[in-house]
Every structure is written in structure tokens, then in C-alpha cells.
Structure 1
Amino acid sequence: MLVVKLFASYQVRNVTLKNRIVMAPMCTYEANSDGTVQPFHLTHYGSRAVGGVGLMITEATAILPEGRISVNDLGIWDDQHIEGQRQIVEQAHAYGAKIAIQLAHAGRKATVDGRIVAPTALAFNENYRTPEEMTLEDIDIVVQGFANAARRAQQAGFDVLEIHAAHGYLVNTFLSPLTNKRTDDYGGNAENRYRLLRNIIDAIRAKWDGPLFVRISAHDYTEGGLVPEDFIQFARWMTSQGVDLIDVSSGAVVPATINAYPLYQVPFAKTIKEGANVEVGAVGLITTGQEAEQVLQDGSADLIIIGRELLRDPYFPYRAAKQLGVPFEPTVAVYKRGW
């Protein structure tokens, strides 16, 4: 008899997830303008914990105020943010979920007032401002910002950290040759373009010995850009530095047409998993229990990272269990009346 993998536990370092269903990091733009947590966040994340996900990755959380996508992004750049973040963690743990924080810098996609920075002075498109090319001092400030954010995340009690290196934000723009035209040690060949991420991982690992994920954009969908095969080497470097899992998304480093359809990003995850012998998470229009299970049975990924389907249905794990014909115990006993 086939063993259902979606509801099997998953061990990463000292953390055990009760199942393989992960809530993807999704911006909500509901924070106060100083980056602090609102009651909304406790409801938003708490309901998915009640719904039974194994791990939640909270939305892109800015490591510096100038690195926000919007003025209403959550922040982790100041000690004043720790208490609100701790409340989110406690909500997750109260209902049996583990929780990760995604540490982020928006780079040239920042829309807050003031100076915006990127590896090269190229705007994303005509609707965005042109960033300033980062100095070596700017780069050092960002690396230290990630390290300080990791310390605060540890104080808040998070189980897992994720570095946002996807979707056209700062780290992604260093990795891609489409957006990194530097001629110093941070530009040119793949090893140089990886250098910022390398330094960030090392800085975080000096503060944090728990599970560490990195979210990537595995395909730029543009001639001359990155493709999944490029990330085989990047993934090998990451794991050699202590990264535990690669969260494989794609796109958004430059404007491009993306033909999205169910499971369209799963082959990217499989390419990297097999090529680099690493643990990966698969994302992208996975909406049913059967689809999620098939990805795991095929060996394409180790975790299933669900975004919009969990916005539509906080109880996706219950629905997936019904679809797969496996028992699913509610996190709150009274829910048995309905389930």
C-alpha cells in the first residue's frame, strides 16, 4: 500500500514538522508604518496554524527600513519589533505549527521614501525609480542588517529562518547577470555574483544554528538570464555553508511573460534537487492534495509550499487529507464536530 508522504513528518536539524505542508511567504502590507505587528497578523497566521499546516513562513520582513517593499511591510530592523514577532510565534506554537521568518531587502523594488540601492543603477521598469549602485560600505551594512535580524528572530523564538533571494529583490539582483553589471568582486562570474549571498549566509550562521532556508528565483524567463541549471552550483555553495533547504520559485527579476499553469515550477525544483543533491521545496499553483502528493511521490521535492490556496482556504490541510483518504486530527478538539 502506498504511504502518503504529504502527512509524514519532516526533520530539519533540531526541528520536526508534523507534515510537509508549508505556508509560503506572502506579503500582506498590513503592518504599521514603523514595521510593527498588527492584530491582523495574529489572526492571519494563527488561522493557518489552527488549519493544520506544518510550517508557516511569514511574509518578507525588512532587515533595514530602506529595504522595505512598501511602508506597510513588517520589520525586524529594530529591537522594538521583537515583541510583536514573538506574539506571531506564540500563536503558531499554540496550535502545533512551526514558524519561519523570511528576512528580506527589497533593493531596487523598494517603494519607500529615500535612497534605494541595487548592485547596478538600473530601474526595474518605467514605474520604478532608478536605484543607486551600492558601494562596498552599503554592502557591508546590508550583510550586518541580515545578521542583526537573525539575532532578533532568534530572540522572538522562530524555528526557521529564510533568506529572500528571489523575485527581483536585492539578493536576487546580485545573482542574476541581467541586473548585476558590476566589475568588482561582486559582479561578473557566478562566484562573484554569489558573493553577497555567501556573506549573508556566513553572517547569519554566526548568529543562528537552527534551520536555514533560501528562497530563489530559478528561472529569469529572459534570454541571458538565469535558468535552473545555474542554481545547481549556487545550491552546492549554499549547502556547503549550512543552508538546509532551497525554496524554489521563479521570475520577477526583470519584466517577463510567464506562462503559469498547475505545477509549472516543480521541474525547476527537481532539477536543482537532483543536480545538487539538496533538499528543496516546490511552489507554484499547487492546489490539491493529489497534486501535492504526486510531487512528493515523484521525488521532485521534500516540502510542498502553498501560497494562494492557503489564502483561499486556511484549512487546506484538512481538505488535502480528505482528498488523499487519510485521517486528520484537528488542532482544536471542537472542530471535530465539523470535520
Structure 2
Amino acid sequence: MFIASLFTFAQRPEETRERQIPSEFKHIGGRWFVKEKAGEKPTYFYRDGERFVDLFSYHTKDSNKDGIDNVRVSHDERFLIIESQGYPNHPTAVFPNSRNPNSIRVQSFKFRLPLEPKLADKITRLPMGAIGTALNGVVFFNPFEMEGQNAVEGYSEVWLDSCCGHPQQTGVYHYHKYPSCVKSPFADDGQQHSPIIGFAFDGFPLYGPYEAAGAMAKDLKGDHALDVCNGHKDEQRGYHYHVTPGRFPYILGGYAGVVEPSNNRGLNRAGTGALTDNTQPGTRMEQVIATVRPGTAARGKTHSIQFELTPENARRVLPADKPSWVQIGPFDAAKIAREGNVVTAEIMIPDDAPVGILFDCHLEFGSGANPIAIKKNDVFRVVE
């Protein structure tokens, strides 16, 4: 379980809160603070409502074991600077596989997030390529695939693994929709406002799906409803974005703030205006996983999950053996068995698993390169 550095203080007027900022914190701009100690790496804290949260320490770990931290954070007078290898620190599908010919490759990203983000007069249109970064240094893409069609659902849907990511031609692993596998500083239990999972390139934070206990931000109405960029404002957090599972644009619909153009060359010619939904009916995804039972499970326990297969729907002949890999959301199976067309997997659901969100699943057949990969969306939900 991920335990982040977290400071809280009572909800009081701004001038009182300022006096309660920990003495070892240095304010560097906006909601950002740094804690520096001789001989140690600085730790960056973000004032998220009534909390000072260490967003990045968990994600600095060397996930691909090359001796380089996955995420490295620094700052100058105007920007928080994030250097990243863009390498996922959660389980992924094997790439290449039968549905994606690309491999995940280590990147060398350097992103500048404005320390004091400002709302713009006009919406900046999202370019292709990176539009923001998750806390783990993996980038967000807009909801379209390279031909400009919806990558998340409908006839043009592309194959994303259970963590909602995949690599493109140059090996950049990225997310097109809510990346449910990204660790946040506190568990998203559906009983409060979701935690931060990343930042857009205008410097505004991106939160998980919940606005309050049992209420998703995508369902808000009236003055507090999300705008076309997937953002809104409240007194505690100011302007911020939310992911919207199952609803276009899923992550961002446009930049509401002033964007730092060095983060993506496409921003210099991006134009203005929010994206519009062009989802086409139907699907090209093979329906090989018929059912997943049970569809819900409690946290803190190991569960036996059954996947009923319809092999006749597969594009390639499925081996008669059991799958080499089974994954639901960020949870991979410890034991896998198969009897006929029913696969049984033993999966541990940790105490800090996100609650109430529908996870995707995927199975792989073949332990070598280029396995046969099958998946099914929105099949499993964690409950208390």
C-alpha cells in the first residue's frame, strides 16, 4: 500500500492557513512548496484543498531498473520541471502482442508546468501526442487515435490494456482514458473528492472521477457541472480537471488555461476550441471474453474470478492451454487455471484499491513475444 507524506490542517480562512504552513516548507509559487534538506533530494508538496501532499516520491522509483529514477522533479522561477522516462510503474500487457505491434520504450521527457496556472481567454485545442502527465511520468493523449477517430469506444476503438494504456510507433506508452492503475497519494474510496492523478500542460491538476461521496464529477449539473474541457472550479482547489469514465472526452476536452508550448511542438499550431465527440456506433473489438464472475469484490482479500471464453470469436486460434497472464485493472493473477472455456484466476484486491470504478480486464496466451491478447471493458468493480 502506498503511504505518501501528507500534512493536514483545519479548514480556516486563508490568512490563518498561511500561518500553519510547516516551517520547513518553502513556497515556490501557486500551490507548490518544496522541502529541502542538505544531502537529500528535495521533496515537492502540492496544497490540495486542506492538505499538503507529496505527489511524486512514490513514483521516483526506478521501475525499469536502469539506475535512473522514473520521475525527477525540480523547479525554476516559473515552472515545476518534471523529467520522466515515461515508463509505466504498474503491470501492463506484453507489447508487442496480437493487437498492437509496438514495444514500450524508455523515453526522455522534460515537461514544464506553470507554478501559477492562469485561465486563458480562449480554449486551446488539444494536439496529438502528449497533453499532460500522470504522476508516474506516463503521458496522457487526447481521446483520438492517429486518424482522428475516437480511440476509446465505438467502431474505431483501439486495444488498450487493463491499465488503459498502450504504446504508439515510437514506443511511448500513454493513456487515452482514466488510468485506474496510477497510484495517488490516498485511496480513492468514493467517499470524498478524488485525489490528483496528474497535471495538464497548462499547470492545472487532473483529479480522479469523484466530486464527493458517491457522486461522480461527470454527473454534476448546473453551475458546478464540468465544462467542455472537463474542468470546473471550487473554493478549496480553484480550477481543476476531472477524468470522466465512460464519457467523452474521458481525460481533457481542451486546455482552459494558458499552455506552456515547449511541452508539445503541436501546441504552436493547435488552434482553439474544445474537441467534439465523433464516436461511431459498433465495434471492431473481438468479443472473446463472454462473462466475468463475480463482477464485484471487496478490498483486502483474495478472490477467485472466472472468465468464460467464446474462442470462436477470436481472430487467431486460442491455445487450449491456460492463459499466461490475467489482469483486471492494476491487479494481476497469482494463480491461473483453465477447464474447457472457463478460466479461473486468483486475484488479490489490496486495501487501497479504488472503489466503485469499473475496471477493464485482459488475458494473454503464450509466454513468449507477441502473445495472443484478448480483453473486455468495464467488467469488474471493487466495493468496500
* TM-score band w.r.t. shorter chain: under 0.3
Decide which structure has greater helix share: 1
Q: Which has the larger radius of gyration?
A: 2
TM-score normalised to structure 1 length: 0.26
> What is the TM-score with the length of structure 2 in the denominator?
0.24
